[in-house]
Amino acid sequence: MTASSNSIRTRIIEALMRLAAERNWNEFSLSDVAKEADVSLAEFRDMFPSKGAILAGFSRQIDQIVLKGHKDDPAHELADETAKDRLFDVLMRRLDAMRPYRAALKGILKWAKQTPSAALALNQVASNSHRFMLEAAGISTEGPVGALKIQGLVIGFTQVVEVWIDDDSEDQGATMAVLDKTLERGGKVIARAEDVQRLTAPLFNFLGGVMKFGAERRRSRKSDREAEAAGSQ
């Protein structure tokens, strides 16, 4: 993507967030966003197919801000912290990156709560983002437990954002308190899920081996029957 394309994408995202801060979501159109961004509808269409797609672009933009500020060096000051503390730091940086858009996000959350299809779509967008937030905190997102971590974080962080939106305190005490409690509760759920996975893994491995053996026996018997049928002709 060229620098010019990046500039157009950014202008469209910023225009949408300005309009979302000033009006209800359904009160402005794609044409309004294009006009606010000072781009043609043709340029707009090359970048995004819908307002929802712009929100996904906004989420990726916030991801980039957080991830570019993340240090992969193991000597990073948080490397020796707990997974919970590392994730706390990552999510607070995400909230810092979102701060200029607080008014817009308040309206968008209100719209999503009233529109089930929008809530489902935004859930997927948030899942894509939080997969990277977990990885940035050094937390694996692979396997069934990984999927649980992602979805749990999506739900928990949404609750945090609802508090953060109205938290005007300088130290963000209310936000940090609910984030800490959310991560503590989520950590306990994940720990139980990981225990269950460890306990059941041998059983599932055994059942998988039995099923594989059975399938191989069936294929072998089928091959024998086909060979016998060919020999009798």
The predicted-structure confidence for 199-210, as pLDDT tens digits, reads as follows 444 543 544 554
Domains and CATH numbers, the chain: 1-49 (1.10.10), 57-199 (1.10.357)
pLDDT at 186: 85
pLDDT score at 45:
95
Taking only the tens place, the pLDDT of each residue in 152-197 is: 999 999 999 999 999 999 899 999 999 999 999 988 878 776 655 5
Q: Cα–Cα distance between 101 and 82 in angstroms, integer?
A: 30
Q: Is there a contact between 128 and 147 (Cβ–Cβ < 8 Å)?
A: no
Which positions of the chain have pLDDT values less than 70? 1-3, 71-80, 193-233
Helix, strand, coil tally for the chain in percent (to 5): 80, 0, 20
Q: What is the pLDDT of residue 210?
A: 46
> Is the model's pTM score more than 0.85?
no
Spell out the residues 6+ positions from residue 74 whose beta carbon is closer than 8 angstroms to its own: none
